[in-house]
Structure 1
Amino acid sequence: MISISDLRDRPEFQPILADRIWRAWWQATGTPLEVVANAVADNLGPDLIPSAFIALDGGRFLGTASAIAADMDERPQYTPWVAAVWVEPEARSAGLGRALVRHAAEAIFRAGWRRAYLSAAPHRRSFYEGLGWTVLEEAIGEKRMTVLARDHYS
């Protein structure tokens, strides 16, 4: 049975979460894994943001999404963000990404925020629009990212 847990409740998954985030976004930049692991460790603190959520099938890691304060140096005016959305290849196309994004956004709303932000590569834009996120800006930074927003779920 698939469940979504706060990393605080399942800290033994911290190393695999750091590995997936590092491999997906940071390894190619030359950033050491330890830097990402330290950032992931911040999710174990008492504050609602940052928070990391993990999808599990029993004891098997399937994916993650986070709620963080800042995600784009180019857009410091936006906060907080859903970030680091990752689903293991064998678990994709089953609605897990949708569930993780919603879970992270709901955590932001429970923390008292009325709006959540998300940055996406251009080829992922339609996925997030399909989840009800609205494009605010396009072609931001070197990677030409899209910034999307979602207001509190009704």
Structure 2
Amino acid sequence: MQLFLLAEKPHALPQIAQWYSDEWGYIGEGRSTVELELKLGDYLNHSKLPLIILAQTEGKLMGAAQLRFHEMDIYPNREHWLGGVYVAPAFRGVGVGKALVEAVIEKAKQLGVISINLQTEDMSGGLYSSLGWQPVEQVNYHGIDVLVMEKQL
């Protein structure tokens, strides 16, 4: 498995937009594939936020994860967020998600980030708990129950 920034593989943008739309399109407006592809154009960065890290093997895109600003407007003081962690079904259960999360954490450290947040619909914290993320609180955000978590870097 190789890890890349979306900025290095911009041709992957339509696939990521499709994944995100298929997985989270039900959440609200602005989540069609076309709308997401336009928004994700802002993630074509190397050394500033927002950015996306991709996992790939033998030319096949395996998954993606984002490092971005202010994901949840109810937390204006929580600046940096891990989001959009997606692993293609064919590659689930083999460590791709873990590798993506760890790569985002390393990139955040390189950029001087001292803490990072996330939201998950898995109230146990799942993978994130096993990687040292701490629960902050459970909230209903835009009609969806989520667990907000934080990791000090």
TM-score w.r.t. structure 2 length?
0.90
Contact map agreement 1:52 1:66 (CA 8 A) in 2: yes
Could you list the runs of 4 or more consecutive aligned residues of structure 1 that deviate by over 4 angstroms after TM superposition? none
Secondary structure of the corresponding residue to residue 93 of structure 1: coil
2:95 alignment counterpart: 95
2:135 alignment counterpart: 135
- Residue 76 in 1 paired to residue 76 in 2? yes
Contact map agreement 1:133 1:149 (CA 8 A) in 2: yes
1:37 alignment counterpart: 37
Contact map agreement 2:52 2:65 (CA 8 A) in 1: yes
Secondary structure of the corresponding residue to residue 135 of structure 2: strand
Whole-Å Cα distance in 2 between the matches of residues 116 and 149 of structure 1? 6
Contact map agreement 1:74 1:140 (CA 8 A) in 2: no
Contact map agreement 2:54 2:65 (CA 8 A) in 1: yes
Secondary structure of the corresponding residue to residue 85 of structure 1: strand
Deviations 1:29-67 (A, max 9, x none): 353322211121001146521010111012111100010
1:25 alignment counterpart: 24
Secondary structure of the corresponding residue to residue 94 of structure 2: coil
Long gaps (5+) in structure 1: none
- Residue 11 in 1 paired to residue 41 in 2? no
User: How much identity, in percent, do the aligned residues show?
Assistant: 23
Tell me the number of residue pairs that the alignment of Structure 1 and Structure 2 aligns. 151
Deviation at 1:127, TM superposition (A): 1.9
Deviation at 1:76, TM superposition (A): 2.1
Whole-Å Cα distance in 2 between the matches of residues 91 and 49 of structure 1? 27
RMSD of aligned alpha carbons: 1.6
Contact map agreement 1:49 1:68 (CA 8 A) in 2: yes
TM-score w.r.t. structure 1 length?
0.90
Contact map agreement 2:6 2:45 (CA 8 A) in 1: no
Secondary structure of the corresponding residue to residue 144 of structure 2: coil
